[in-house]
Structure 1
Amino acid sequence: MAVGSGNGLSIVISSTASDTHTWNLVFLRMYLEELGHDVVNLGPCVAEDELVPGCLDARPDVIVLSSVNGHGFRDGLRAIARIREHPDLRGVTTVIGGKLDVAALTADQERALADAGFDAVFSDSHPGGSFVALLAGVRAELAS
């Protein structure tokens, strides 16, 4: 995978298939670019059939899925299955975050997302640590 310009990472951001929200993606893009990363925003309502080719085209170091509508848990399980099916994306650090369930995300649901292949889960119920620290870890790993 290609490291972004300078010391930044190449990052793909996308919402989940059923999520039409865009402000979260705009915020994520701006935030990540301020941190020095190169960002490709695939946009809202990205179906799995579009997500994988978009990621393959961008060849990211990190894939970030964001959900605001509360259906990220179900959509995320489908998305990560498709991402991990593709040999060129199996090793790409992939995270999901936001409002992932219409109720509070349970610890069992968080484990299910991790077991399905997400490297980290950041939800409103279980923030799961620092997103910035995760990115720093990926950057350090790629630099070594």
Structure 2
Amino acid sequence: MELQFDARPPDITGLDVVVTSVASDAHTWNLVYLQLLLEELGHRVTNLGSCVPDQLMIDECRGRRPDLIVVSTVNGHGFVDGKRVVRLLRGCPELRTTPLVIGGKLGITGREHGGGVGELIEAGFDAVFEESAGIVGFRDFVQSLPSGVTR
């Protein structure tokens, strides 16, 4: 009996997602959690890890052309760092319309809840999810994106 294999890749559904942190954030558990959550939802994830230099983030996203970019931060500098990286990412013509979100601990004073969301949206994020309370909203956002893309 001869075995035959189809050399064509199977149709793949779901989103191609890049999960990343900002250059100042060395936390990894949040990135692993998001990766597992997104994979459980049927998406393919490239996790860039922690302390990602801005240029590396830009280069990876430009090269991969993901369906979604997720920036996660835990160190409390997400508001400042997020405003910087969103401008850089949106400055790339091929990433201008890519859904781009940020979430986690966005500030260090405890007064940030909701205060900087409008500024981050205005700067170019499609959605902002603050700390652990944002995970339900994040999941709903991801599930609202068109999937079933065949690559």
Tell me whether the two structures share a fold, i.e. TM-score over 0.5. yes
- After TM superposition, the runs of 4+ consecutive aligned structure 1 residues lying more than 4 A away are 140-143
Match of 1:51 among 54, 57, 68: 57
Tell whether 2:97 aligns with 1:91: yes
Q: Deviations over 1:57-96 (max 9, x none)?
A: 2210000000000001000000000000000000000000
**Residues 91 and 56 of structure 1: is their aligned pair in 2 closer, same or farther, counting only changes over 3 Å?**
same
Worse-matched range after superposition: 107-116 or 66-75: 107-116
Preserved contact between residue 24 and residue 51 of structure 2 (Cα < 8 Å): yes
**1:1-144 pair list within 5 angstroms:** 6-104=12-110, 105-124=112-131, 127=134, 130-139=137-146
**Residues 40 and 140 of structure 1: is their aligned pair in 2 closer, same or farther, counting only changes over 3 Å?**
closer
CA-CA distance at 1:126 after TM superposition: 7.2
Preserved contact between residue 121 and residue 128 of structure 1 (Cα < 8 Å): no
The Cα RMSD (Å) is 2.1
* 2:8 corresponds to: none
Q: State the distance in 2 between where 1:92 and 1:102 align.
A: 28
**Residues 111 and 21 of structure 1: is their aligned pair in 2 closer, same or farther, counting only changes over 3 Å?**
same
Q: State the distance in 2 between where 1:97 and 1:109 align.
A: 12
**Structure of higher CA gyration radius:** 2
User: Which 5+ residue runs of structure 1 have no aligned equivalent?
Assistant: none
Q: State the distance in 1 between where 2:138 and 2:113 align.
A: 20
SS at match of 2:108: coil
SS at match of 2:23: coil
Give the count of matched residue pairs: 139
User: Which 5+ residue runs of structure 2 have no aligned equivalent?
Assistant: 1-10
Matched to 1:132, the amino acid is R
Preserved contact between residue 113 and residue 130 of structure 2 (Cα < 8 Å): no
**Residues 25 and 128 of structure 1: is their aligned pair in 2 closer, same or farther, counting only changes over 3 Å?**
closer
- The percent of aligned pairs where both chains have the same amino acid is 45
Preserved contact between residue 40 and residue 58 of structure 1 (Cα < 8 Å): no
